[in-house]
Structure 1
Amino acid sequence: MHEGGISVIAIDQPLSRVMAQVAAASGIAVDVSPAVDKPVSLSISNRTLESALEQIAREHVLNMITGWKTSASGSTEIATVMFLPSSGSDGGGVVIKEPSVHWERKARRQFNKDKAQSKREEKRLERAAKRSGRI
């Protein structure tokens, strides 16, 4: 990262490693889902942080959840970024929203619902196995 923009060049590097370098340079928190942490090759030159993140998400067909904070000067800036697998029947488009508490809350709720659903399924399978005497 240098004054005026961010530059990233990666050849067959895990996405989490590339984003860790971006996070260290920019001071943001980055979370990469294990489902999308695969080797990527990219070249970004002299872009704003927001523009660079959008390009990464678009080129690798990822959903990007962005958390924003208000700086001391009153402007909003990126604080956190999460990269998740694209989903839905729309062909896997990138989801990029304007800064909004409601939007971020909605995304976190959906993540928690999915997590709870998988736990319920595990418990159901565990109970069925106990009933059949396999455990």
Structure 2
Amino acid sequence: MRHFLQVLLCSVCLFSSFTTFAADKLLSLKNLERQRAHLIQDMLSTRHAPEAKQKRLIQGQRQLIDMERMVIRDERLSQQNEQLVRRAFSDFEMTFLVHASAEKNKQPMQHWLDSVGFSSQAILTAQPGFRK
């Protein structure tokens, strides 16, 4: 009985460490997605004064550049067949927002708006209100 409990305990420990290791393979990509979402939220936010907002955006872009580099260089991701990984690398323009905007000589906000399908003209002519 004692031997059985030891084997059971070892197998539970191995299984839990394996699932933790498997989850860690996507951690860099999940952190990138989270940081990109924070940057877009800061871009669209009206809560901060313009100077404070500009500081937050510059800091967020620097962090996102570093995270994008980490994900691009993460060889563990190329070995994964997860949907998150496939979608991230198939939509380079949105996943690697700061790098893609630099390649097109645009600000990340302008690049994101273009990728989503908004134009400056459409935003300026938009009227607040409810849709009917």
Per the TM superposition, whether the score is higher than 0.5 is no
Q: Who wins on radius of gyration, i.e. which is larger?
A: 2
Q: TM-score, length-normalised on structure 1?
A: 0.26
Bigger fraction of residues in strand = 1
Q: TM-score, length-normalised on structure 2?
A: 0.26
